[in-house]
Each structure stands twice: as C-alpha cells, then as structure tokens.
C-alpha cells in the first residue's frame, strides 16, 4: 500500500542522499535555507519511495474590512498580515 506523510527529521539523511543521486531532478540545494520548506514522504509498505519538497505559501483570497476603514489602515493591516509570525 502506498501512503503519504510529512517527512521527519530522521528522513533528512536519506532525502539528502537521494536528492544528490537522482539524475536531472532539478534539485536546488539552497532550499534547506528556506524557512517554509517541508517535504512529503511517499512510502510503499512503510518504506520511503520518494521525497517531495515543497514550500508553504499564503495565498490571499480576499479581505474583510471594518466598515469605514481608511486606506492607510487597510494597507497597514495587509502589511501586518504579511509579516505575521511564522508558525
């Protein structure tokens, strides 16, 4: 059975090894520096088959504003959302 899970710290060594040994995979080693880097582990019968790195992204769909908000308050709110603490 094939399953998917988030990669764990103990997957790092194998992920790194496979990233370097898989030809033409487009791997960028600087992704390790990206603060939102995560990876999926695809497993078959409990054994990893592949790792899929990805970045968490916030996509703003819309904004619900207090009635009468000023343009400045709107922009300040958007900037605050952009710089909110990483989780």
Tokens describing residue 38: 């995560």
77, two tokens: 């709110």
- pLDDT(59) > 60: yes
Percent of the chain clearing pLDDT 70 (strictly above): 95
In this prediction, residue 31 has a pLDDT band, given cuts at 50, 70 and 90, of confident
CA atoms of 20 and 76, how far apart (whole Å): 43
Yes or no: say if 11 and 5 are a contact pair by the CB < 8 Å rule: no
The whole-model pTM stands at: 0.65
User: Does the CA dihedral 50-55-61-63 come out positive or negative?
Assistant: positive
């Amino acid at each position: 059975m094939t399953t998917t899970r988030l990669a764990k710290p103990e997957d790092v060594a194998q992920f790194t090894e496979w990233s370097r040994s898989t030809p033409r995979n487009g791997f960028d080693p600087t992704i390790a520096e990206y603060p939102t880097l995560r990876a999926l582990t695809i497993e078959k019968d409990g054994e990893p088959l592949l790792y899929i790195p990805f970045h968490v992204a916030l996509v703003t769909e819309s904004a619900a504003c207090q009635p009468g908000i000023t343009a400045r308050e709107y922009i300040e709110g958007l900037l605050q959302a952009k710089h909110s603490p990483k989780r």
